[in-house]
């Protein structure tokens, strides 16, 4: 029988970025994906949309598995004001998104939901980070589009792209912008009795070469970062 620290954990996501981040916890996990409708409801705010999708993904996978497990799902949304920016469908849409965001600050929301498939207990947590974009040039936009990287990224960019480096982030949760806010995840897992042995905040900072100013506050219960 697994101990509370070694419960079966299922990541309800096919995202390589989320797999990479979750691996920093040192926890063993399986992968299962959920096929849900991700269309925003009319007038739905970005925060509510993100929470709804994380819950729907977790519920879909929890219904599909056999045996006890904790199911973790997450959803990340890039928003500019009231506008949700999804994944660009083509170079023109990627270009429009990158021009729109250039030199300005927008928000990235991530919601994560953990469901105990045995008991039905469900907890959802959410993070929001203000993301200032640098004033990259038109030539940099074209080179980035040519790389193909924007097309599976909400908002048309990846904060961790070492060639483009589109973001001037100096405060807030870097991992949230990548797609899985690890300190929010830690405080949620603790409520299920799971406490990774790894020093996750330090590993996250080392992995992203980023000095985090909010990790302790999040672990102590601050709502967002």
Give the residue ranges of the chain where pLDDT is below 70. Answer: 1-6, 224-225
- Is-contact 49 43, C-beta < 8 A? no
Please tell me the predicted confidence (pLDDT) of residue 7.
83
Please tell me the predicted confidence (pLDDT) of residue 3.
38
Could you tell me the two tokens for 12? 């309800």
Q: Mind listing the pLDDT tens digit for each residue in 40-58?
A: 999 999 999 999 999 999 9
Q: Mind listing the pLDDT tens digit for each residue in 93-104?
A: 999 999 999 999
**Active-site amino acid positions:** 75
Look at the pTM and tell me if it is higher than 0.85: yes
Domains and CATH numbers, the chain: 4-219 (3.90.950.10)
Q: Say how far apart CA 159 and CA 170 lie, in whole Å.
A: 12
């Amino acid at each position: 029988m697994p101990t509370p620290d070694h419960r079966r954990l299922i990541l309800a996501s096919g995202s390589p970025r989320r797999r990479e981040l979750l691996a920093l916890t040192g926890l063993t996990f399986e992968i299962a994906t959920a096929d849900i409708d991700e269309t925003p409801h009319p007038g739905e705010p970005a925060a509510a949309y993100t929470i709804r999708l994380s819950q729907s993904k977790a519920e879909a996978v929890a219904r599909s598995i056999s045996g006890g497990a904790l199911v973790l799902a997450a959803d990340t949304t890039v928003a500019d004001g009231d506008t949700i920016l999804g994944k660009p469908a083509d170079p023109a849409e990627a270009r429009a998104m990158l021009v729109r965001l250039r030199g300005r600050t927008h928000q990235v929301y991530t919601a994560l939901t953990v469901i105990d498939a045995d008991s039905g207990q469900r907890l959802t947590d959410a993070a929001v980070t203000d993301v200032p974009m640098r004033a990259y040039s038109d030539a940099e936009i074209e080179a980035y589009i040519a790389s193909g990287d924007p097309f599976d990224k909400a908002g048309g960019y990846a904060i961790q792209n070492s060639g483009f480096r589109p973001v001037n982030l100096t405060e807030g949760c870097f991992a949230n912008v990548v797609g899985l806010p690890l300190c929010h995840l830690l405080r949620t897992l603790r409520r299920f009795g799971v406490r990774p042995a790894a020093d996750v905040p330090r590993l996250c900072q080392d992995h992203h070469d980023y000095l985090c100013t909010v990790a302790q506050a999040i672990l102590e219960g601050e709502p967002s970062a």
